[in-house]
Amino acid sequence: MASSSKDQFEQQLQQWAQLDTVLKAHQEKIKDLRDRRQQLETTILQYAAEQHLPQAVLPGGGGRLRFATTNAYEPITFRFLETSLAKIIRNPDQVKSIVEHLKRDRKQTQSTEIRRLA
């Protein structure tokens, strides 16, 4: 019974490794596709700007496409918090104390996973 469990365990490890290999190959393909799409997007947006087409709705292969502008914010880091707090709190020791409290009070989780060795 024990050797059957060990055989099953080893078979599962082999399946995991095979799936991991397939996933890595697909991720590489996806990365390449994203890069190609980004290059096309840059070219298309340059042309649209030159032709004054910012509000155009375009026919695409899979449906209609339009240009969209999005706002992206920088991540909230401890350095950012410290800088921002220093603008409203004059006491540097108090700012440092607040930032240290936030660092200590963060929720931490642990998980175990399988990783392939290089």
Is residue 55 in some structural domain?
A: yes
Q: Do 49 and 95 fall within a single domain?
A: no
Q: Do 61 and 8 fall within a single domain?
A: yes
Task: Give tens-digit pLDDT for 56-97.
Answer: 677 767 777 788 889 999 999 999 999 999 999 999 999 999
Q: Do 7 and 28 fall within a single domain?
A: yes
Task: Give tens-digit pLDDT for 37-57.
Answer: 999 999 989 998 898 887 767
Q: Do 45 and 24 fall within a single domain?
A: yes
Number of domain units in the chain = 2
Buried b (16+ CB within 10 A) or exposed e, 64-75: eeeeeeeeeeee
Is residue 2 in some structural domain?
A: yes
pTM of the predicted structure, to 2 decimals? 0.68
Q: Do 78 and 60 fall within a single domain?
A: no
List the domain range (segments joined by +) for residue 84.
73-108
